[in-house]
Amino acid sequence: MGKQKIMMEFCLLFAAICSSVSSAEWKANVVKSIDALVTSCVVVPCSFSHTGGNLPSSRLRAMWHDKDKTADTKGNNIYHEDPTLIKDSFRERTKMLGRLGQNNCTLEITEVKDHDNGPFCFRVELVRTDNKDKFSFVDNCVELNMLPQPPRPTVIQPMTTIQGEPYTVTCSVIHTCPTHVPKLSWNLDTTNIIVHHKDIKQGNWETQSILTFIPEEKDDNREITCTAEFNGGLKSSETFTLHVKRVENYNHIIIPSVVGIGTTVAFVLVCIFMTKKYNPNNVNSKSCDNQKVTKPRFPSPKSQPKSYNYKEDPDEGDDYINTADLNIYGNI
């Protein structure tokens, strides 16, 4: 009796150890919750691992089922390789995106309904020739947060908008369907737009649209709108008002002034030319002005030596001075 008890305890311990080892061989990584936009789509990221390494896809079979219901029961699966085992409300709306041979169990749900909230769990079966090992990861299930309205885009813009200088504004929106990303559009007629898609983890993705244009004076107080159109047709938008800082322009002062000065100078030059051309006396008078008038010079009486003409009077025999010869300057 004692040996039987010891044997039974040993068997129970061995079964517990085996069960622990078996469950430790398989692990799954599934997001706990994720947003799902009604009428759109959602992609649930999922991965799993096995201690024996990667197994070929031919040896694996995957399914997703309701947490509170077993996958063995027909109609409890939201995804199964056999379409007849999928719930009618999910048929043709679910698809496995990952390859099981690469340990990828990512699930896509399209045309999301407001009752597709879950939680849903992943299950894998190891197909063998003799039996099937089944592993349901009921502790790693996903729950969908239903969104009846789409999220609004976020717009990031510079604080200052200067006329004539490049202006860059970014519009972004968060979504959970990378297979059908939202389309971002602007109410501006421009082709200078760059679009980016980024994985921000936990099943969330970000789509960015970067717009660059050169604002003009007419764009002041203009409303700029970024619109996001999601898969399924729902739209949301964000609008802001552009305030353009004008560049000081003095052309309305400089141009008339230059024209006026140029006209005045031209008029003065024409007048001078016409005056010189039709006034010949102007040339003669200028010639006369440049000539010096020379007055005749007479010798000074002091500069000329006085000469006296002494003649003998033949009659008297005395020296005689002719006064007429002395009065050459009319002083006597």
- Ordered by where they begin, the domains of the chain are 24-147 (2.60.40.10), 154-245 (2.60.40.10)
Reported as a pLDDT band with limits 50, 70 and 90, residue 286 is: very low
Side chain identity, residue 312? E
CA distances to 176, 300, 303 from 124, rounded to whole Å, are 24, 148, 150
Contact present, 186 and 169 (Cβ < 8 Å): no
**Predicted pLDDT of residue 230:** 97
CA distances to 7, 21, 52 from 14, rounded to whole Å, are 10, 10, 21
Task: Please say whether the dihedral angle defined by the alpha carbons of residues 156, 39, 114 and 205, taken in this order, is positive or negative.
Answer: negative
Token pair recorded at residue 128: 């063998």
| Strand-pair category, 244-245 with 310-312 | unpaired
Q: Average the pLDDT over each of 58-72, 120-134, 176-190 and give the range with the smallest value.
A: 120-134
Side chain identity, residue 310? Y
**Predicted pLDDT of residue 153:** 96
The mean pLDDT of 125-146, rounded to a whole number, is: 79
**Predicted pLDDT of residue 132:** 62
SS3 content of the chain, % helix, strand, coil (to 5): 25, 35, 40
Select the highest-mean-pLDDT range: 104-108, 248-252, 265-269.
Answer: 104-108
- Measured from the Cβ of residue 286, the count of other Cβ atoms closer than 10 Å reads 9
pTM for the model stands at 0.65
